[in-house]
Amino acid sequence: MTILNGKQIAAEIRSELKAQIATLLNQGKRAPKLGIVIVGHNPASETYVANKIKACAEVGIEAVKIAYEDTISEQELLAEVHKLNSDTSMDGFIVQLPLPKHIDEQTITSAIDYQKDVDGLTPENVGRAAKGLPCIVSATPRGIRELLSRYDITTDGKHIVVIGRSNIVGKPMATLLMQKHERGNATVTLCHSHTAHLKQICLSADIIIVAVGHPGLLTADMVSEGATIIDVGITRVEDPSTERGYRLAGDVDYEQVAPKCAYITPVPGGVGPMTIVSLLQNTLQAYSLNSTL
Ligand code: NAP
């Protein structure tokens, strides 16, 4: 069994990005710039945003945090999105999710200029991904594809089961893997809370990607010998024995599942760091799309 070390691979990619950005600066070009809009004070969101800003600084991307109280209206937030769309110095930006209940996430994410949409959530990028056209791919699926690629795990002809159909992970992951692409060409089954016979479906999988948010959902009896398991789930579970009072749990019963696998991602240290580094790669991609460099 090999542990897919997302932390190490992400560090390698950050070094590569740092070198690429240093070359740009040496050529007299400006640094890529990423806007991060955050609304309210969700502790998990604040941690994610802090980690993204830190990762940007490490590679030389200028990150600008734009924080609003959760009293902001949908119209006001929409106005901020339009302002960022027309700010030619801003290569890309994200609106950290989730948003407060009175703001419609679809309305906000759909309003982002697709060439600045470094989360890959706009209908334009989603549609382009589905058609196999050049696009900005959602960060977590991009990171998972990169992780598979760096460990030379082939997807061609494999049966890949994706559990979870969210717009940020499950759906774009399934879309990517079914494309005519070196790291695609898979036979994909997309499962969700209404899926019947989940265990039987998983048992026929070469690769299982689970993105649900239920700790321990994927148990050893659902996994065939030699499968590859990608655990996207991150849930804070109360744990008084830790300094923070909680620990992070994935969707996989790791202790029982790992011995059966060829490859498995840990939580933390698997998909999470790959998601952040993919955001940096997407920002560099948006930078190269920006005609006002
Ligand atoms: P989400 O929007 O909450 O969607 C969860 C999905 O799981 C839904 O499609 C739901 O089905 C499905 N589901 C729920 N119970 C199920 C069950 N018993 N069997 C099969 N499917 C079930 O999730 P998300 O935003 O994709 O996040 C999923 C997890 O990944 C969370 O823990 C999140 O924190 C984590 N995450 C991690 C990263 C990272 O970088 N590592 C990035 C993003 C998210 P329905 O559609 O039928 O409701």
pLDDT, average across residues 241-245: 94
pLDDT, average across residues 24-32: 96
With a cut of 80, say whether residue 292 has pLDDT above it: no
Choose the weakest-confidence range: 24-28, 170-174, 179-183, 199-203: 179-183
Q: 133 C-alpha to center of ligand 1: Å?
A: 26
Amino acid identity of 218?
A: L
- The catalytic residue positions are 52, 96, 119
- 175-221 pLDDT, tens digit per residue, is 999 999 888 999 999 999 999 999 999 999 999 999 999 999 999 99
Note the pTM of the prediction, 2 decimals. 0.97
Q: Whose CA is nearest to atom 4 of ligand 1?
A: 166
- 106-144 pLDDT, tens digit per residue, is 999 999 999 999 999 999 999 999 999 999 999 999 999
Q: Is 272 close to ligand 1, i.e. is its CB under 6 Å away?
A: yes
pLDDT, average across residues 236-249: 94
Amino acid identity of 30?
A: R
Distance CA 85, CA 90 (A): 8
Q: Is 197 close to ligand 1, i.e. is its CB under 6 Å away?
A: no
Q: 22 C-alpha to center of ligand 1: Å?
A: 37
Q: 88 C-alpha to center of ligand 1: Å?
A: 35
Q: Is 165 close to ligand 1, i.e. is its CB under 6 Å away?
A: yes
Q: Which residues contact 161 (CB under 8 A, 6 or more apart)?
A: 188, 189, 191, 201, 202, 204, 205, 207, 208, 209
Which pLDDT does position 231 carry in this prediction? 98
Q: Is 249 close to ligand 1, i.e. is its CB under 6 Å away?
A: no
